[in-house]
Structure 1
């Protein structure tokens, strides 16, 4: 005898999952995630009692659940704020401090590689409204459900924690530079903890408050950077642009370019997380344009400003070199604001805390990334994962505060390697095998292994990409065979280019045979 009752119950359960609201809590979703068992049930009961806190995790945001009042310009403000920070400024200083580039080659590298690396970020942002899925959940359409999708998930989790660590160190160095002369210096650990506390609030509360914070937080930061520019411009090396550079090599440009790509492209694994609440019929072109502008305006301007500030180290004002040697990037900004006296110190404090705008999306997306790994992790409420991630990066920040530049360079370049592979695979799947059509996706079956690709093609392409960046990477601890062809002694980093090329060649071939064999 056929059990029709069970079919009806299943249909009712599915309908209930469509009608769920934030007030009821996502542990009522009929998605086989064990939210109502043991310690998970206790965690969800806590979240349900927190008014205004977003409890939704990686569950699909259905069209009828979207926030149709959200402004399309939020696509721009989100990334404008996240990149109008001292972290972006710091990247610009690496051109001279790490790669030995003059001002002109550094600026040209900044412009070209930023315009290139932010294209995937803006494009992936268009996936959120159309499918209602978060970025690392979307990767299941290429990487399968759990394996090999665990690789981008783990790497992105490391990236989110790593960036938060680097950011809080940047903020701590800036805050430490406030104390000069006989004033007691602010302990780095204390500064890192303060930044972490400010970061956790919006990321803990959720999507709406993340956008609300980022919508306005860039304004005071941009004003203060303009003040620093006005006070420091006369000390810039005026000949840095017009003179023909003698210290530029292909190796240094390519290596600095990899660092620039690692920063801009770093947002690609988070992109769709911040557009899932837009209406399904929103213009993809407008989402792309707003996002692309919001990324490139602060990236290009502030990285260029950082490169320009490095030219003050040889100026007639010794305070720039002295304070840079003492407090790194924070000291450089402090030297620029020194003529403003007490007001300048106040501005420096604001700059230090402004790094929060960059850390918020890292922590918010860390929780969503972690949940995509397994249903048991999806059963942990998103806000609690934010707390765990914050504790981890605070500890790492306190330990690594004296290794800022080396950690920053290594993180940026390693990010460019794996993200080049990730973006290539996602783009080829969408454009070649799904023909760029949203109708060729089944977002409601994102947790159904039988409806997703097997993942063999993605795994093989991932391995090919690893071979590519190993051949082309140039790090202190290893220089690839092909990188040595550019510069025998120091190497020229072409890791992300080869990673993208190798995976881009392998994926279409292996995916073709995968679809032919398994039909999905």
Structure 2
């Protein structure tokens, strides 16, 4: 059945919601996803993530760079591939899962992604609030609330304004962070050593490396459940393979270049300070005075570039849960929740952020494994319920002994600290294996009907 065109509110505000995009509604260039993912990651939260690789785990700069490159290669390949689903299905990423996890089972990962979306909003708003407070001296909470209003307004308008905003924000952010890169390398060099005491606390170099990689994977895969949201209007029945190839290429390079660069820069800066408890600690004393104001402005703009994506995709997820709201109402509600969370965690940023990144990967990696197999294979459940949902739940539960973070340390992680947090590997493998065991090839007649 061909989807109907959904009128926009006042001719401006997108009200498509989670409905399938019709061929009449398709528009835009697949190359636009490069600027989208560049702008989403060339920002202060990405810098903060990279700083954890050296400041938190004690790795040297070059050890941290290997971790960052490995994690983001994995994440960018997955992001690029999942972005092509929008061309195939013409629907937001999370609503696609109803076909595989079942209408009821799909609500749980959609709810978790909604939680992730407003939590990311809170994380980024907190980072931006520190910058805005340094510029205007408004106080942290008023700064967070003020930024929230701007971000919510853009996300409410929807898909087209988000793509347009990211296109222009990308150039400003790239210039600002190029300036910071030049200044940092000139001041610090590239030979930052490891911290033996911190590494010992991580279970040795291997444990520190695995923990760093898990954090970086958590950051990158946090975007995966959003990916089709920004390609669904590229749905086509004309050279779909060519469009998907372009989407994959530009999404992959946009995500990889931005995260490796900015996280690497964060790792370099993080290696120069003994500890940081809030984002503004990374604005170090060696930063020239003339550069501080334009860079702080870039931090604020970077917060906006990331958060308009977080609000929009969290909105798609809460609609996928089954909450009956207009799209613009859901966007406003999501932003308000994120603003409240930001005000709560604003004084315990680093601890909350590290735990959040790890937890994000705990549910997302097995969901990725199962969703990939559902999309690529033609199999049916051996159970009277969704095999995809059961496989995902088993994978999340089975990975608990490997968790290694401040909120909870699993039995395996506690007794084998040299493996660090290997949950992202274990849960992915369990999810894939369980799905294959719980399904069987679809009968030929079903395959033909599909």
The alignment's TM-score, normalised by the length of structure 1, stands at 0.78
Is 2:267 the partner of 1:299? no
Matched, 1:201 2:153: yes
Deviation at 1:81, TM superposition (A): 0.7
Residue in structure 2 matched with residue 91 of structure 1 by the alignment: 49
- TM, length-normalised to structure 2: 0.90
Segments of structure 2 that go 5 or more residues without pairing to the other structure are: none
Structure 1 counterpart of 2:207, from 251, 275, 284: 251
Instruction: Specify whether residues 190 and 244 from structure 1 end up closer, same or farther in structure 2 by C-alpha distance, changes over 3 A only.
Output: closer
| 1:423-465 deviation per Cα after TM superposition (whole angstroms, max 9, x unaligned) | 0001111222269xxxxxxxxxxxxxxxxx9653123212221
Determine whether 1:459 maps to 2:404: no
Question: Quick one: which of 7, 15, 21 aligns to 1:61?
Answer: 21
Runs of 5+ unmatched residues, structure 1 = 1-13, 24-47, 180-184, 314-320, 436-452
Secondary structure of 1:240's match? coil
Aligned to 1:311: 271
Count, aligned residues: 436
**Alignment of structure 1 residues 112-151 onto 2, 5 Å:** 112-146=70-104, 148-151=105-108
> Conserved in 2, the CA contact under 8 Å of 1:142 and 1:425?
no
Report the counterpart of residue 433 of structure 2 in structure 1.
Answer: 505
- Offset, 1:71: 1.8
Among 152, 164, 173, the residue aligned to 1:212: 164
Corresponding residue for residue 373 of structure 1: 321
Instruction: State the partner residue of 2:403.
Output: 473
Residues in 1 aligned to 2:128 and 2:66: alpha-carbon distance in whole angstroms: 27
Q: Alignment partner for residue 289 of structure 1, among 233, 241, 249? A: 249
Partner of 2:335: 390
Deviation at 1:513, TM superposition (A): 8.4
Q: State how far apart, in whole Å, the 1-side matches of 2:286 and 2:353 are.
A: 23
Cα offset for 1:393? 1.0
The aligned residue for residue 168 of structure 1 is 125
Measure the CA separation in 1 of the matches of 2:181 and 2:86: 37
Structure number, greater radius of gyration: 1
The CA deviation at 1:339 is 3.1
State the distance in 1 between where 2:385 and 2:62 align.
Answer: 44
The answer on 1:102 being equivalent to 2:54 is: no
Equivalent position of 1:187 in the other structure: 139
Match of 1:493 among 421, 428, 436: 421
| 2:345 counterpart of 1:400 | yes
Between 1 and 2, higher relative CO (CA 8 Å, sep ≥ 6) is seen in 2
**2 CA distance for matches of 1:414 and 1:277?**
31
SS in 1 for 2:321: coil
Q: How far apart in 1 are the matches of 2:355 and 2:422?
A: 14
Correspondence for 1:227: 179
Instruction: Determine whether 1:329 maps to 2:314.
Output: no
Partner of 1:274: 230
C-alpha distance in 1 between matches for 2:84 and 2:280: 36
Structure 1 residue 238: Cα displacement: 4.5
The answer for the alignment partner of 1:20 in structure 2 is 5
Shift of residue 514, structure 1, vs aligned partner: 9.3
C-alpha RMSD over aligned residues: 2.6
Contact 2:7 2:16 in 1 (8 A): yes
Deviation (angstroms), 1:175: 2.6
Residue 296 of structure 1 and its aligned partner are, at CA, apart by 0.6
